[in-house]
Amino acid sequence: MQNNLLQIATLIFLLPLFGSVAAGFFGKMLGKRGTNWVTILPVAISFLLSAYLVKVIVLDNHPAVEGVVYNWMTTGVFKFDVALLIDRLSAVMIFIVTFVSLMVHIYTVGYMAEDPSYTRFFSYVSLFTFAMLILVLANNYALMFFGWEGVGLVSYLLIGFWFKRESAVFGSLKAFLVNRIGDIGFVVAMSAILMYFNSLNYADVFAQAHTVATQKMKIFSDYDVSAMSVICIFLFIGAMGKSAQVPLHVWLPESMEGPTPISALIHAATMVTAGIYMVARMSPLFEYSPITLSLVLVIGATTCLFMGLLACFHHDIKRVIAYSTLSQLGYMAVALGASAYDAAIFHLVTHAFFKALLFLGAGSVIIALHHEQDMRKMGGLAKRMPITYLTFMIGALAVSAIPPFAGFYSKDAIIEAVHLSTTPGAHFAYFCVLAGAFITPLYSFRAVFLTFHGKSHVDPHVKVQESSWVILLPLIGLAVPSIIAGGMLVGPMLFAKNNLLGSSIFVLPDHNVLLEMAKTFQGAKLMALDAGDTLAFWLALSGIFVAWFFNLRKPELAEKLKIRFAFLYNIMVQKYGFDDFNQLVIVNGTRRLGDFLYKTSDLKFIDGIFVNGSGKLIQWFARISRKIQTGYIYDYAFSMILGVAVLLIWFLH
């Protein structure tokens, strides 16, 4: 049975790779229809196999399966293997990844139908899925890093897919460079893990975690720090890059320059959740580093609140949803910092459904309006696009945490977990997640009202009609779990004695806030019915009301407030100055430093002294030597006599 499960897991990640290679090398030969078959069918099979693994590993409670598929490299005493770990956490993750990827593949058939690089896009999307599956299924840090870099590379290709647009090239380069900063943290962490644990295998590392937790790392001659804290901080720096936590968040809004299907795939269940998954996977390490948990808590809370605020001030429908993703990733990071790892993964799961739904719904609108993305040029689309409107509304209700939609259960659990947490920084985090409960429906329903309600601002020459069924079917497929997944999973995933993630997650008894919450949990239905007793619920309703009031009832008041508080408004529009700071200080500063080094070290020192200087030295020596070659015998005879005299004096002395 173990070998069979290992073979199934191998097929799950190899099938999308096959589709990618087939579409990439033989796309022109296959044509659009053939490309659809060789990419969508393998992902569909991977999804079905993932569902089977969930049944066996999670529902049937089969022990975790671990095994080597291929020996990658051996150096000294270390082995780097393509080895897989199929436990409850990885089974749930690959199910979500393959499901969302399948929906995106189907959606792409309609969205990219007229694009001349149709087959290339399918090849990239399948390759992206392969890299994410490798990342999730790995049983060691080296293989995880391979998948980690894989999603980073393919995201660069996908964000810059329309490479003739300058903004797309800039966005892809920005995403690539910012992610490299996080990757440096991951590499440093792996080096430290190899040094202290003598292994990169998860099982070996986790087994020694309690021992290494007491060890110190000498930073300076008289200053020691916890080795575990250093490892976890650098691991989290890696997670900050991939999961776009402040200040490494700046790449994610720029990823909107890619086609909408990949925006959904990157933001819903793949690249941006990789950091969240990684920290949850490394819970046996993070639990022994309280200072890192506090750091995760505070950075996550900051991202949750301040990135959510930015979504209220942008007009590009995709960028609004992108800032929403940043805010929701902040919620997940907050849950990690509060040691509620199961709640973080639970929100990751529900978020995958409703965020993919929102992005694909926005894409349906963008197609209908001939690629118009400015919400100020929309309005009144509810009657013209009823299915898109209904599914987008479901996504908005889910992300706003309105019961009984999926986001309510996962977000409410995080808020309560932070409230009970004793980790330093929990009070600040609790304020941020509560404020986020108001801000999330504010920007979500602002998008709903500006896009689908009110007076139409659509160009009268544009004929608006509902999207084709190949686009609507994925929307419906994602809308269903956006409604029911939260209520179905909240009990089994968070509060059951043998919960869905089981021993994949490790929590110290003093940190187990979910165990405390389980004492008062009485079922999903009662949780939804008791929502009126929570402050978060009323804040969510207030956010919807404020969005309606300022966007439909009194839009002129919003304009007056914009003028009255122009200073604050400009700060929001400028995105707190992060992009300007990066451009002026880091980018321009790097260029100036490069120019300085080029003019001094390269031109003056290397070229001036070594290259040109050596040439001048040889010329000078040649001029001197040339004078010796006179051509007269008496000059040569005199030189010989002088040489003999010097030698005699030397020896006699």
Summarize pLDDT for 505-553 with one digit per residue, the tens: 999 999 999 998 988 888 889 999 988 889 999 999 999 999 999 988 8
CA angle 480, 484, 486 (to 5 degrees): 130
430, 513 contact by CB (below 8 A): no
Residue 74 has pLDDT above 90, yes or no: no
Over residues 105-127, mean pLDDT: 89
Residue 272 has pLDDT above 90, yes or no: no
Q: Is residue 378 part of a domain?
A: yes
- Residue 79, classed as helix, strand or coil, is strand
pLDDT on residue 162: 85
Q: Is the dihedral of CA 400, 405, 410, 414 positive or negative?
A: positive
Q: What is the pLDDT of residues 418-462, one digit of tens each?
A: 999 999 999 999 999 999 999 999 999 999 999 999 888 888 888
Residue 285 has pLDDT above 80, yes or no: yes
Query: Rounded to an integer, what distance in angstroms lies between the CA atom of residue 23 and that of residue 30?
Result: 8
pLDDT on residue 502: 86
Tell me: do 432 and 551 sit in the same domain.
yes
CB-based burial of residue 449 (10 Å sphere; 0-12 exposed, 13-18 middle, 19+ buried)? buried
CA angle 413, 414, 420 (to 5 degrees): 90
Tell me: do 558 and 588 sit in the same domain.
no
- The owner of tokens 């084709």 is 468
Query: Rounded to an integer, what distance in angstroms lies between the CA atom of residue 452 and that of residue 445?
Result: 10
Q: How many alpha carbons lie under 13 Å from residue 111 in its C-beta half-sphere?
A: 29
Last residue of a domain, one of 517, 539, 572: 572
Q: Which amino acid is at 24?
A: G
Last residue of a domain, one of 557, 572, 587: 572
Q: Is residue 416 part of a domain?
A: yes
Q: Show the domain range for 584.
A: 577-652
* Average pLDDT over the chain, rounded to an integer: 88
Tell me: do 448 and 588 sit in the same domain.
no
Tell me: do 233 and 376 sit in the same domain.
yes
In this structure, what is the dihedral angle of CA atoms 561, 567, 571, 572, given to the nearest 10 degrees?
Answer: 0
Over residues 565-581, mean pLDDT: 84
Residue 222 has pLDDT above 80, yes or no: no
- Please list the alpha-helical segments (H only) found in 243-289: 251-254, 260-268, 271-281, 283-286
Residue 314 has pLDDT above 90, yes or no: no
DSSP assignment of 116-129, as one string? TTHHHHHHHHHHHH
pLDDT > 70: what percent of the chain?
A: 98
Tell me: do 585 and 567 sit in the same domain.
no
H/E segment holding residue 190: helix 166-197
Tell me whether the omega of the peptide bond preceding residue 247 falls within 30 degrees of 0, making it cis.
yes
Can you give the length of the chain in residues? Answer: 653
Q: Is residue 5 part of a domain?
A: no
The total of other beta-carbon atoms located within 10 Å of residue 596's CB is 10
Tell me: do 589 and 502 sit in the same domain.
no
Tell me: do 553 and 584 sit in the same domain.
no
375, 315 contact by CB (below 8 A): yes
pLDDT band at residue 221 under the 50/70/90 scheme: low
Please tell me the total count of domains within the chain. 2
Q: What is the pLDDT of residues 607-633, one digit of tens each?
A: 777 777 777 777 877 777 776 776 777
Residue 639 has pLDDT above 80, yes or no: no
Tell me: do 466 and 542 sit in the same domain.
yes
Last residue of a domain, one of 532, 552, 572: 572
Point out the least confidently predicted range of 79-83, 189-193, 411-415.
79-83
Q: Is residue 584 part of a domain?
A: yes
pLDDT band at residue 77 under the 50/70/90 scheme: low
CB-based burial of residue 456 (10 Å sphere; 0-12 exposed, 13-18 middle, 19+ buried)? middle
Over residues 250-274, mean pLDDT: 81
Over residues 296-317, mean pLDDT: 92
pLDDT on residue 650: 78
Q: Is residue 113 part of a domain?
A: no
CB-based burial of residue 134 (10 Å sphere; 0-12 exposed, 13-18 middle, 19+ buried)? buried
pLDDT on residue 160: 87
CA angle 576, 577, 581 (to 5 degrees): 150
Q: Which amino acid is at 416?
A: E
Q: Is residue 2 part of a domain?
A: no
Over residues 150-169, mean pLDDT: 87
Tell me: do 554 and 601 sit in the same domain.
no
Q: Is residue 94 part of a domain?
A: no
Tell me: do 596 and 564 sit in the same domain.
no
Q: Is residue 616 part of a domain?
A: yes
pLDDT on residue 88: 93
Tell me: do 482 and 606 sit in the same domain.
no
pLDDT on residue 115: 82
pLDDT on residue 617: 77
Tell me: do 596 and 558 sit in the same domain.
no
Give the list of residues 6+ apart from residue 586 with CB closer than 8 angstroms, or none.
Answer: none
- Identify the bridge partners of residue 73 per DSSP, sorted by sequence position: 80
Query: Rounded to an integer, what distance in angstroms lies between the CA atom of residue 5 and that of residue 56?
Result: 9
